[in-house]
Structure 1
Amino acid sequence: MKLIVNIPVYNEEKSLGETIRVIRKSFSDDFYTQGEGKIITEKLIQIVDDGSTDRSAEVARQEGVDLIISYKPNRRLAYSFKRAVESSLENDADFMVNIDADLQFNPYDIPKLLSPILKGKADMVIANRFGEKKAKNIPWLRENLNKFAANIIGFFLNYKTNDLTCGFRAHNRETLLRFNLTNVHFTYTQETIIDAIGKNLKLFWVPIDVTYFDNREAKITKSIYKFISNSTKIILKAVRDVRPMKFFGIPGLFIIFLSLISFAIFLYNYLPELNVTRYRNYLLFGIASFLIGLQFVVFALVADMVKSSRQLTEELMYQWKKDKYSKK
């Protein structure tokens, strides 16, 4: 079986060489020679150079990286991940591990991510920076925003989620074939988790050690406002597509419930006096909120039908990709 370790790269010439060497050295770990990883007979390193303006691609070539994808201009992390998935499938990967280029994550932890997949417990394993091994020096705001988003998504999807934005993760071939990335302008981390849950793939989170370097620059966005804004859009769109009945239905039923309360208050005050004028605001609010809530319920039903159509299309895409990327 074949493992491809993918490294997304954007101006990483200073750390990339060492990262490649550590990953290659980690392949001699007991996990691969004596443990569960013995079935992985071929291990390749792949980099996706996302429009770097430094010598990142040259460093990769000097280090003898097996697969190098390079393009210009910079097209952001989601597009980079999409290219990584396509290349991994084209090169007959059974597993793809994604890891950063700056040694923020320890390549010797790759077996921790692969183990649940090899045991059949998971299709996709994500490193958890907020578990028992809490990340060092992680910004407080980023940590708590991540936890908040995980709780919201967990509620809508009825699935226990943890770290949503960690890029250190492992996938089996089935997961790679199932992915259909629609957003390629920002990041892929939240969307792929929601998409995988919606397709009934098994997800697993593994606590790992990770260090946030003091001088580390965010590659996705340097503005926390843009990060929140873009992430919110991605999460809302993904949840809308995966759980439309909940996404539209819950707000709709809540608004209808408010309208019923308003009607009840109106009737309670109107019936003894039979005077509409004094209490018409309750009546008007009840009518307006009932109609708005009803619209949301209709949206939920229509969106659910669209979801069924989309699932059929995605199944056709899956079969097409299975044929296209059938192993040689």
Structure 2
Amino acid sequence: MIQIPCFNEEGTLAETLACLPRKVEGFDTVEWLVINDGSTDRTVAVAKECGVDHIVDFPVNRGLAKAFVAGINRALEEGADVIVNTDADNQYNADDIPLLVAPIIERRAQLVVGSRPIRSIEHFSPIKKVLQRLGSWVVRFTSGASVVDAPSGFRAISREASMRLNIFDSYTYTLESIIQAGRSGVSIISVPIRVNGETRPSRLVRSIPRYVMRSSLSIIRSMFVYRPGQTFLMLGLIPLAIGLFFSARWLLFFFQDSTRTHVPSLIFAAVMLIAALLCWLCALLGEINGINRKLLEDIQYQMRRERLGDGSTEQADTYAG
């Protein structure tokens, strides 16, 4: 299943669909799915005219992340063994779809992210290129997965990994999905892919500062959810260092000048040490909650598997065993 989240894409959707394959080696059938995210133009009509097999139609705009998740759920219900996600603006070269799905068929990965040639993309500003590399590094650190281009929306995901997927961010799915998958034990790799020329300005990155802020919040939220122990432990080091510094300062002043008590320094040091202790308690509670989260994810996965099954075609046995 090749899915395309759309919001007012009547101008580019037909070109994007024309480039999509109807046959991919290793699969019996290739179907197309369009998620209409509350479009007010002819997006749905264009999709039908171009022979799209499945359409999820939102009455109002719910955001890219919601559209992505809705597409995954619909693809699973239709029995998809592998789901490929691409953009409606045709920025990704559809001829590279076989490269995306190959690691899944060969059982080398469950989630494959297409890595764009960021340095050679002309319509990317120098600031955006730096931010792309920085964001990918942060996601690699947080998820533990070796992903070169984390914000890339050109990706393939196996049926099993799709049933383990949970997205809580309402802004974008790209970063959180990798972090969540990596922390859940899903095997992830990157493959180099090609891109086409710019057909329209990005609707997700309307403003660099806004995109940085929203993406940063998504990463920070994911760190607290999926790596609470390490995150709170590292946060606790900051007040600990400050508390130890002012404790040493108080001791130095106390022995040098016994006529003054320097109570403010002592109180501030105590407050910082207590703050460090509270962070470490949060780390402990976060790890305990993390165990419960993993148990709930396993229960959710089993329920989805019982409801949706392992796959509808014999191709599932090729890579799922």
TM-score by length of 1: 0.88
Q: Distance in 2 between matches of 1:235 and 1:293?
A: 22
Partner in structure 2 of residue 137 of structure 1: 123
Say if 1:56 and 1:127 are closer, same or farther in 2 by CA, change over 3 A.
same
- Matches of 1:41 and 1:108, distance apart in 2: 18
Q: Of the candidates 106, 113, 116, which is equivalent to residue 93 of structure 2? A: 106
Residue 187 of structure 2 is aligned to residue 202 of structure 1: yes
Shift of 1:7: 1.2
Aligned to 1:297: 280
**Paired amino acid for 1:267:** L
Residues 72, 162 of structure 2: 8 Å contact kept: yes
Answer whether contact 1:135 1:209 (CA < 8 A) is retained: no
Evaluate the alpha carbon distance shift between residue 134 and residue 126 of structure 1 in structure 2; reply closer, same or farther with a 3 A threshold.
farther
- Alpha-carbon distance in structure 2 between the residues aligned to 1:295 and 1:117: 43
1:24: Cα distance to partner? Answer: 3.1
* Distance in 2 separating the partners of 1:199 and 1:297: 23
Which residue, 160, 181, 203 being the options, matches 2:146? Answer: 160
Cα deviation for residue 130 of structure 1 reads 4.5
The farther-off stretch of 77-86 and 280-289 is 280-289
Aligned to 2:13: 16
TM-score normalized by structure 2?
0.90
Provide the C-alpha distance between the structure 1 equivalents of 2:263 and 2:132, rounded to a whole number of angstroms.
Answer: 45
**3-state SS of 1:108 partner:** helix
Q: Residues 131-160 of structure 1: CA distance to partner in whole angstroms, max 9, x if unpaired?
A: 6x7433213222222222222333344443
In the alignment, what sits opposite 1:241?
A: 225
Match of residue 66, structure 2, among 75, 79, 86: 79
Aligned residue runs from structure 1 range 116-265, under 5 A: 116-130=103-117, 134-183=120-169, 185-213=170-198, 216-265=200-249
2:139–2:175: 8 Å Cα contact kept in structure 1? no
User: 1:5 Cα deviation (Å)?
Assistant: 0.7
Alignment check: 8 A CA contact 1:49 1:57 kept:
yes
- Ranges in structure 1 where 5+ consecutive residues have no aligned partner: none
Say which SS state the counterpart of residue 42 (structure 1) adopts. coil
SS at match of 1:74: coil
Instruction: Call closer, same or farther: CA 1:294–1:171 in 2, change over 3 Å.
Output: same
User: Which residue of the partner structure matches residue 315 of structure 2?
Assistant: none
| Structure 2 gap ranges (5+) | 313-321
CA contact (8 A) 1:52 1:74 kept: yes
Query: Which amino acid in 1 is paired with 2:184?
Result: K
Which SS does the other structure have where 1:286 is aligned?
helix
- Quick check: 1:136–1:211 contact (8 Å CA) kept in 2? no
2:139 and 2:178 in contact (8 A); partners too: no
- Between the aligned partners of 1:100 and 1:129, the Cα distance in structure 2 is 13
* Change over 3 Å in CA distance of 1:286–1:159 after alignment to 2: farther
- Counterpart code for 1:167: G
- 8 Å Cα contact 1:8/1:49 also seen in 2: yes
Q: Could you give the per-residue CA deviations for residues 199-258 of structure 1, whole angstroms, max 9, x where no partner exists?
A: 011111112222452x62222252333322222222111111110011111110232133
Percent of aligned pairs sharing the same letter:
29
Report the residue type matching 1:107 in the other structure.
A
Deviates further, 80-89 or 249-258: 249-258
Report the CA distance shift for 1:22/1:282 in structure 2 as closer, same or farther (over 3 A): same
Corresponding residue number in structure 1 for 2:317: none
Contact 2:87/2:153, CA 8 A, preserved across alignment: yes
* Distance in structure 2 (CA, Å) of the matches to 1:256 and 1:243: 20
Native 8 Å contact 1:167 1:189 kept in 2:
yes
Q: What is the DSSP-based 3-state SS (H/G/I as helix, E as strand, rest coil) of the residue aligned with 1:8? A: strand
Rounded to whole Å, the distance in 2 between the matches of 1:101 and 1:134 is 22
Deviation, 1:60, is 1.1
CA distance in 2, matches of 1:171, 1:159: 15
Report the Cα distance in structure 2 between the residues aligned to 1:161 and 1:269, rounded to whole angstroms. Answer: 51
CA distance, structure 2, for counterparts of residue 103 and residue 227 of structure 1: 21
